[in-house]
Amino acid sequence: MDRSLDVGHVAETLPDLSEALSDSRLRPVGVVVGFALLTVGALLSMAPTTGQWAFWSNAVAATLVFVSVPLFCVGLAAPDPPEGSRFHFGVNLSRKQRKAVAAGSLCLTLSPVVMALGSPLGLSTLVLATAATLAFVGASLVLTGFIAWTSEALAGPA
């Protein structure tokens, strides 16, 4: 069997999630790209469109917003870069808090995907409930990561 098809070999060569989330280069990329996509999505959703372009304008705007918010959250949760960087915000989450934010961001990203793929199946109530549950769990995980960091920062030595 080809090595690229061997599950064990592929699993050994995958990067560790903890290493990827602990890279400080993730902060500028996540914050800048997330903010830019959010801005473009918001401006596109406010643009007056009618006729055949209205659907595509709204669909692209919604996709940009749903991708940008989790990307921004993961960028904000990344470790602080060196002191002289413009992206030094003072937010420094622990490894568990970063994993909670990353898992929540993944759930938030999957929520519209479930809606887009599941709606044509005709199971609208089940699809809607699944997407809403993913969005709720994702938002809860993201907030839990940041609220836990805030409570630790407030309870720490003054």
Structure tokens at 12: 């050994």
Q: Which residues of 16-35 are buried (b: 16+ CB within 10 A; e: fewer)?
A: eeeeebeeeebbeebbeebe
- Global pTM reads 0.71
Q: What is the pLDDT of residue 1?
A: 52
Q: What is the pLDDT of residue 5?
A: 65
Cα–Cα distances in angstroms (integers) from residue 46 to residues 39, 56, 76, in the given order: 11, 13, 26
Confidence band, pLDDT 50/70/90 cuts, at residue 4: low
pLDDT, tens digit (0-9, with 9 covering 90-100), for 15-69: 666 777 777 788 888 889 989 998 998 888 887 777 777 777 788 888 888 888 8
pLDDT, tens digit (0-9, with 9 covering 90-100), for 95-113: 888 888 888 888 888 888 8
For the chain, the maximum distance between any two Cα atoms, rounded to a whole number of angstroms, is 60
- Percent of the chain exceeding pLDDT 70 equals 91
Q: What type of residue sits at position 58? A: N
Cα–Cα distances in angstroms (integers) from residue 12 to residues 4, 8, 18, in the given order: 11, 6, 15
The residues, ordered by sequence, that sit 6+ positions from 31 with a Cβ below 8 Å of its Cβ are 72, 75, 76, 87
Answer yes or no: are the C-beta atoms of 17 and 102 closer than 8 Å: yes
Mean pLDDT, the chain, integer: 81
